[in-house]
Amino acid sequence: MATGALAGGDQLPTVRQLAVDLSINPNTVIRAYRELEIRGLLETEQGTGTFISHQKVPRDDAERQRRLNQLVGEFVARTGSAGFTVEELLEQLQAVQSDAGKKRR
């Protein structure tokens, strides 16, 4: 929801379907759906299903930074396992940034 992959009004899978898809206990899905509903992010309509609410998701700077750190760590690890150095990675990122800047002009 925070990334925009899900929009207000989108229907979520049923508890049973999501539990099967993720190979987890349905009680785990129920608890997760309930927590998101308490926070106002989901709306459950009896007999119809569970939907993403139209409420805007506030951006949590700490969570955003944590996610960026996680992505960077994964990216550096993957490029390292492919035989590239951090310096090569930085050079390529700077080249991509430079190219993106030229395209905006």
pTM above 0.85, yes or no: no
Angle at 5 between CA 27 and CA 92, to 5 degrees: 120
Predicted confidence pLDDT, tens digits, the chain (105 residues): 767 788 889 999 999 999 999 999 999 999 999 999 998 889 999 899 999 998 776 667 887 888 899 999 999 999 999 999 999 999 999 999 988 777 766
Which residues on adjacent β-strands are paired with residue 52? 42
Q: CA-to-CA distance for 25 and 20, rounded, in angstroms?
A: 8
Residue 2: per-residue pLDDT? 67
Residue 102: per-residue pLDDT? 75
29 CB-contact burial (10 Å; exposed 0-12 / middle 13-18 / buried 19+): buried
Residue 22: per-residue pLDDT? 95
